[in-house]
Structure formats: C-alpha cells, structure tokens
Structure 1
Amino acid sequence: MRAAALGLGLVVAGGQAQAAEPVLGYAAGFLTDPFQAVLVQQALATARAEGFHTLPATNANGDAGKQISDIHNLIATGAKVLIINPTDSEAIIPALAFAAKKKVPVVAIDTAPAGGSLAMVVRADNAAMGAQACQQIGKALGGQGIVLSLMGDQATTNGRDRTTGFNTCLKASYRNIKLIQEPTNWKADQATAIAQTIVTSTPKLSAIYMQSDSVMLAGVVNVLKTAHKLKPVGQPGHIVLVSIDGTPLALQDIRKDLLDSVVSQPLNLYIKYGVYYAKAALAGKTFAPGPTDHDSTIIAKGKIEMDLLTAPIVTKANVDDPSLWGNQTKS
C-alpha cells in the first residue's frame, strides 16, 4: 500500500498488479474564512470521487514562504499533481518552477500566480466582478455619494483585479461618486477596524464595497448596527452594501434586506474544473485559448492559460437560486 501512497504506477494486491490512484495534493494559501475552508473541503472530496488519492491539505496561513515549503513537502510525500490557491501571486513562482522540474503539473484555482509553469488557472474574471460591483453601487446611488472600498490583499491578483475593475468603472461611469479605499489584506479584524473608523468619521457615507463578504460582511454589519446606521434596503438612511463571494451569510443578509447585492464567485465550478484540469494534466492534455463547453473563456496571459468562469449578480430576485454555491453548503 505504500506504493499507492507515494503515487507510483502499480501496487500489488492479492498477487495481482493493479493501477494505483493518482495522488493529488492541495496547497492552500490560508484557511481563515468560510470561502476558503469550503473550497478546500469540497475540492478534496470531489477529487476523491474522481479517483484521486488525496493528501491532507496544507495551510500556509498567509505565509508565502511556508506555502513554498508546503509545495515541496507535498511533492516529496508523493503528489503527482497539485491544486493550489496562492497566498502571494509573485512569491509562488519559484515553487511552480520546482514542481515543473519534478514534472508535477499544477492547477491554480481562485487566485492566479503572476507567472510560472501551470497546467491551468481556474478563476472568475475578477476585474469584471469589480466592475459589476461598481455598477450595482453606481445605479443604487444614482451616480452621487461617497463609497468606501474595502480592498483585499493587493499582493494577490484577486485583490488587484477587484480594485482595478471597480475603480476603472467609477472613473468611466460615475465620476460624481467620491471614493475612499483602504487595504484590508483579507483580514476580518482590519476590515472591521477600517469600517469603524470611516463610518464614524464620514456621516455622509453612502455605500460600502466589500471585496470579500466571507472576510468582511459580518464585521461591517456589526459596525453599522452599533452606529445605528444599519437600515434596511430601500429605507431612508440605508447605506448601500455590495460584496463579492456569495457566502451563505451574504445570501441570508440579502433575504433580510441588509445587503443590496453580491457578485457570487462560482466556487462550485472552481472545484469542478480545478479537478477536471488536474486529471487532464496527468493525461497530458492541453487546451487552446477560446470559448469552452461550459460557458467560459480560456485566455492566455503570457504563458499562463486561464479559464475565466462567469460570476452572477445576486439580488433579492434570485437569491434562492439553487445553483448558487452559497445555497449548496451550510458552511
């Protein structure tokens, strides 16, 4: 059985040679919010259902150096293919070079590395998600007001893209909206502290854009409640709230008329196609840029190919859609 654990081609059981399950490793950048926890748990479950032997997921806890060590260790333990979610898009590149040297294909999901050798990146178009959030806020405010943008970690492609998409949209379509933007590094405590400061010091604050409701929503709602500024959608004094992720909490807050809308990341599709491309990489399959058979587009960014999945906008009208990942999990 040790041969199977090490990802070798054959094991002997009952005197007969049998094909071993391919070994898959998962290197998480951090697991401090529900989105990432669900992503890891369900990705490993899906991989097992697709015939992989899975190693225990590693957690870099936001430490780029540790994630590099985690990838080395997963390969040393026998991983023949990796799924990763980088904690730092630039810092992960040497680990990808190591995996390529060891002939271990890598699929990145959710967050794209800035370079390196990859079989595929599976993510949403994060700049488009930022622009979608901007449109929701701009329309709700009638093009006038003050908006706080709680940015994610700008060392990640997701944080940068969600910021760029939002800001570009504001400049192009809503020039009369004043922007206050603060980095949170995907940290709930930082997001809450910043929201507390801005809500207290900005009496005419009109809206808050949260780049991750998984990290930021609970704290922001609590800040508004404590400041007696948590008014239902549509009532006078309501501060427009728009977020990205689509967690069960976010969907529940839409139902309660606390959250105006959310751009729902296709977490379930990250998992489905992350595992799909991992299997394809082991089989030596490659893919060309262009439309896919699952309503997305593969683009080439330098030498990196990305399957950019669509991300729906969720409002009160479609919050109960069973296809939303937030309606498919209790986590």
Structure 2
Amino acid sequence: MKKLTTLASSIMLSLAISGTALAQETIALAVSTLDNPFFVSLRDGAQKKADELGYKLVVLDSQNDPAKELANVEDLTVRGAKVLLINPTDSEAVSNAVAMANRNNIPVITLDRGAAKGNVVSHIASDNVAGGKMAGDFIAEKLGDGAKVIQLEGIAGTSAARERGEGFKQAIDAHKFDVLASQPADFDRTKGLNVMENLLASKGAVQAVFAQNDEMALGALRAIKAANKQILIVGFDGTDDGVKAVKGGQMAATIAQQPELIGELGVITADKIIKGETVDTKIPVDLKVITK
C-alpha cells in the first residue's frame, strides 16, 4: 500500500512539474475589439488551440484604439510572451506596436489585418480581395450588370477594408455597376444603421448593398426594413448573426470567413516558431459564399 501511495505521489509530482513547464510558455493575443462577434470567435479559436497544445494564452482587448493597442503590447512584453499574435486596430498605426515587439525580440504574427511596417513573421488572413470580388459577382448574378449599388466601408486604414473595397471595385468595373454611394460605417452595426438611413433618404433607387462586414450589413438591414424597401444585402465575415439573417431570408448572402480557424492557425504557427520551425510568411484561409 505504501509503495502505491509513493508511486501515485511521484506521478502527481511529475504532472505538476510538467504542467508548470507548459504554463511558463505564454502566447499573447492582442485583439482590435471584443465588441465584434467575429473577433470573439477568433479569440475562442486561439484559446481552444492554446489549451490543446498546453500554452497559456493572454488576451487583451485594444477597444479599437491604437493607443490602447500600444499599451497592451507594452504590457505583454513585460509578461514574457514568447510570441505576439495581433489583430491590428489599424494597419498603419499598429506599426508602433510591432516595432515595440521587434525591439523586445518577440516574434509577431498578424491575424485578419496586416501591418504596414515592421518585422512580421507570418500573416494569417482570408483573401479579402477575392472576397470583395465574390460579393460583387454574386450581386451581378442576382441583378445583372449595371445594378445600382451602395457600399458600406469598414474602418479606413485597415487592410481588410482596403482589400475588400479593392475586390469589390474589380466587380464594379467588370459588371459596370452604378455606384450611388460608398461610405464608411467603421465595421459597426449602429453606424451601419445610421449611414444607411441617411443614404436611403437621397439614394432611394438603390438595388443592392455590399457591406464590408456583417455588423454593418445587419445595421443596414434594420434601416431598409424601417423604410419598407426590398434591397439585396450582401455582408462579409459569416458571423452567427449574419448567417442567421441569410438563412432567414433577410440578407441575400454573406462572404464567410472562418475566424475560429484564423485564431487556431495563429496558435499553431506560434507553436512552430517557439519550436524553431520554419513558417510561411502568408497563410491564406478559405472563403465561401453563404446563401439561403
């Protein structure tokens, strides 16, 4: 009996030591905002994979504020993070945070949005240009060439907004859309509602709306329903609320990203870096059009 007790104690001690060693390996995740369901899913994917691989994941919310983002990264350098996963608030402004991580010899991986400057080991994101083109092609498929469209843009300065707009511009040129307006609503549902309300007052002939994320699309949907109009709406991201609106016949489509997979791949890539393995500088994540 005494031998069994001793053996059990040895096993428990071994597990405790092993657990402590794993806990010392910390991966940091700075997210642009956790008010957006897309980035909550990204965080959840990263957390699930970190738990699976035995890493401690420290998550900080930048609240869409570049100054807060920089302060978060400064905090993370003190916490001894081995790798920094960062979803930038702004592709230009994040350069300061990337530079800080570079100075502290912390490898940087960008998620969903890129960084304009600084040393980034790997960038993991959907092909936003292809996604914007897919949205425009879908509108043309439903309404034909020359359709009257409005675009709701994301936060100016983010690579996601720029690239999705670039892809949609390709569709505009290819299908000769009549663009009645293209205005920012900052990836925000309430701003999407307000901007769409204002545009409907002067652009009532609109046939389709492309919103660069589902949050703006859902805001636009509220404005369109309140105005009692029938307008084709295409969102982007494939969030739970966006997909629900599509399946319910309220939105025509959403270009679905896989935020959980982006977060998961971020941790997998960080794990490879920590182990000294080579990683790809760009890791694309597939997109798909979700319809009813």
The alpha carbon displacement at 1:312 in A equals: 0.8
Contact residue 200 and residue 227 of structure 1 kept, 8 A? no
Q: Greater RCO between the two (CA within 8 Å, min separation 6)?
A: 2
AA partner of residue 312 (structure 1): K
More helix by share: 2
Partner residue, 1:228: 228
The aligned residue for residue 147 of structure 1 is 149
Which of 35, 40, 43 in structure 2 is aligned with 1:37? 40
Give the Å deviation of 1:179: 4.1
1:54 aligns with 2:57: yes
Deviates more, 1:17-26 or 1:103-112: 17-26
1:75 maps to: 77
Pairing 1:174-323 to 2, within 5 Å after superposition: 174-213=175-214, 215-229=215-229, 238-287=230-279, 305-316=281-292
Cα 1:51–1:20 change in 2 (3 A) is closer
Give the deviation of 1:252 after TM superposition. 1.6
Preserved contact between residue 146 and residue 180 of structure 1 (Cα < 8 Å) = no
Q: What letter matches 1:224 in structure 2?
A: I
Across the two proteins, how many residue pairs are aligned to each other?
A: 276
After TM superposition, the structure 1 = structure 2 runs for residues 48-127 of structure 1, keeping only pairs within 5 Å, are 48-55=51-58, 57-127=59-129
What letter matches 2:218 in structure 1? Answer: A
CA deviations over 1:147-183 (Å, ceiling 9, x no partner): 1100001210001001111012211x11143341001
For the Cα contact (< 8 Å) 2:27–2:82, is it kept in 1? yes
Separation in structure 1 between the aligned mates of residue 241 and residue 87 of structure 2, nearest angstrom? 23
SS in 2 for 1:259: coil
Distance 2:135 2:217 in 1: 15
| TM-score, normalisation: structure 2 | 0.89
**Paired amino acid for 2:243:** L
Paired with 2:267 and 2:98, the residues of 1 have a C-alpha distance of 18
Between stretches 135-144 and 176-185, larger displacement belongs to: 176-185
Q: How far off its partner does 1:38 sit?
A: 2.1
- Could you say what secondary structure the match of 1:205 adopts? coil
Worse overlay, 29-38 or 125-134: 29-38
- Mapped contact 1:146–1:206 kept (Cα < 8 A): yes
Question: Structure 2 CA distance, aligned partners of 1:53 and 1:40?
Answer: 13
- Output the CA distance in 2 between the equivalents of 1:282 and 1:146: 51
- The amino acid of 2:222's aligned partner reads N
Q: Which segment is superposed worse, 242-251 or 40-49?
A: 40-49
3-state SS of the aligned residue for 2:181?
Answer: strand
Gap runs ≥5 in structure 2: 1-12
CA contact (8 A) 1:148 1:207 kept: yes
Is the CA contact (8 Å cut-off) linking 2:86 and 2:108 kept in structure 1? Answer: yes
Equivalents in 2 of 1:148, 1:209: separation in Å? 6
Give 1:10's aligned residue. Answer: none
Sequence identity (%):
27
Distance 1:178 1:47 in 2: 44
- 8 Å contact kept, 1:119–1:277: no
Give the deviation of 1:17 after TM superposition: 6.1
Please, what TM-score do these two structures have when normalized by structure 1? Answer: 0.79
